[in-house]
Amino acid sequence: MTETLQKVEIAAEVTQILSDLGMRLKTVDNNALKVSSPIDGQTIAEIAITEREQRAVAVRDAHEAFLRWREVPGPRRGELVRLFGEELRKAKTALARLVTIEAGKITTEGLGEVQEMIDICDFAVGLSRQLYGLTITSERSQHRMMEMWNPLGVVGIISAFNFPVAVWAWNAALAVVCGNSLVWKPSEKTPLCALACQALFERACARFGEAPPNLSCVILGGSDAAVELAENPAVRLVSATGSTKMGSVIGPRVAARFGRSILELGGNNGGIVCQSADLDLTLTAVAFGAMGTAGQRCTTLRRLFVHEAVYDTFLERLKRVYSAAPVGDPRDSRTLIGPLIDARAFEAMRKSLEEARRAGGMVHGGERVTIDAHPDGFYVKPALVEMPSPSPLLRTETFAPILYVLSFRSLDDAIHMHNDVPQGLSSSIFTTDLRESEIFMSAIGSDCGIVNVNIGPSGAEIGGAFGGEKDTGGGREAGSDSWKSYMRRVTTTINFAKTLSLSQGVVFEVA
């Protein structure tokens, strides 16, 4: 099969998927965003970039939609999200295929990502009847205090290529049931997934019949579009997922206008393998955590600390798993590791491995793999790097399948090395010792927002709040009480007495 034919096949499949989802791409004469697939590196579509003036109009339109949507009762808002979940169920296979083609995820991971969208819709539908406030005891006789949650406004969502649909849905489903409108700036690397989700959301709106126009919209562009969202005072909340560098640009701009932000930034996640660990379970968890999504998850396992008593045994088993892991076309059901997103990602991986060697690391794997059918795709063997001691390199996250492995003698030492990085997203400990697990989960243990026991750091369920500490940004998305970020808190005091009494015993008599 020729390269040209392969290119046509992928592009034609994308066109068919978009058509099935209710989209037809328009011909673009100039100022086009070229969309390529990491599978073969070839252009699969050209779409129009949203001009600056159009982006400003989109925010204004979204604000007008919010003014109407905030008056719709929460359970009715939940009905729209329920309908959206139905559309996702019907389109699951097609949308997952688009994720595979545009982001390079293997088939099961593409399907899993769309399932996350469905799951968060289910969560949000229930939430629409549970936007609870509080009743607070007043210190004054015949007074009642209460706390309510009201809709916030326009929510700007900036998403990354590695989860091109799920992270948007985490934000969108909650924001919509909370009474807000949406403006989505997706990654320039995965805009088709965003347009497909928007089309499905519009289908749900059409079935719902009461949604105001422009309740959700997509704006396409580069970092300038993201900065505009951050600086626009009409965007009450900016939820941004990406690198720490990106967050350092977006966060201060939102803060400068006293806006709200949810920042989901770098991970650089660590795991600890104790002497008591179940090594069979640990092997599978480490393999998926480090190699899944070709190492391109914010929750990817990047640093592993193994007790010296089991270090040699475990490392030999891990090497065999690494050498045998199938790398290839993510559409092939036998593939476990698909391509890196682009040449830039491969170059970053190459440089990090060179630095590891200079620091005394022993590198296993990491080389580029030639796929005959896709010579322009960036496929790599996952890299396992034995490090003799901690290195400044371990403090930097490389978005690629690189796992640094170090040995430790005491749990205190392992925890110290684990926490000695700027990031603090997800973490894991593998142990059958109750005390070790409890220490790791305690205040003197992991300093991350996610602390797991006997599972890897990636693959979070939507029921819990997702997010991390330190340079990871501190934001929380998805489950638990993350919904409060999308609403404004109102504290009210009601006096049902016939006299006015002041708090704290203050007396203020007037004639």
Q: What is the DSSP string of 101-119?
A: HHH---HHHHHHHHHHHHH
Q: Which residues does residue 386 pair with via DSSP β-bridges, in sequence order? A: 362, 405
Q: How many other C-beta atoms can be found within 10 angstroms of the C-beta atom of residue 139?
A: 10
CA atoms within 13 Å, Cβ hemisphere of 45: 27
Q: Is 269 helix (H, G, I), strand (E, B) or coil?
A: strand
Angstrom distances, CA of residue 499 to CA of 33, 40, 146, 495, 504: 67, 77, 20, 9, 16
Question: How far is residue 136's CA from residue 120's CA, in Å, rounded to a whole number?
Answer: 31
Is the separation of the CB atoms in 164 and 190 below 8 Å? Answer: yes
Q: Which phi and psi (to 5°) does residue 41 adopt? A: 75, 5
| Active-site residue flag, 205 | no
Among the listed residues 102, 298, 386, 477, the single catalytic one is 298
| Active-site residue flag, 264 | yes
| DSSP at 161 | S
Among the listed residues 87, 109, 202, 264, the single catalytic one is 264
Angstrom distances, CA of residue 302 to CA of 266, 274, 299, 396, 418: 12, 17, 9, 10, 11
Buried b (16+ CB within 10 A) or exposed e, 71-101: ebebeebbbbbbbbbbbbeebbebbbbbbbb
Q: Helices marked H in 232-342 — which ranges? A: 244-256, 279-291, 311-324
Residues labelled catalytic: 264, 298
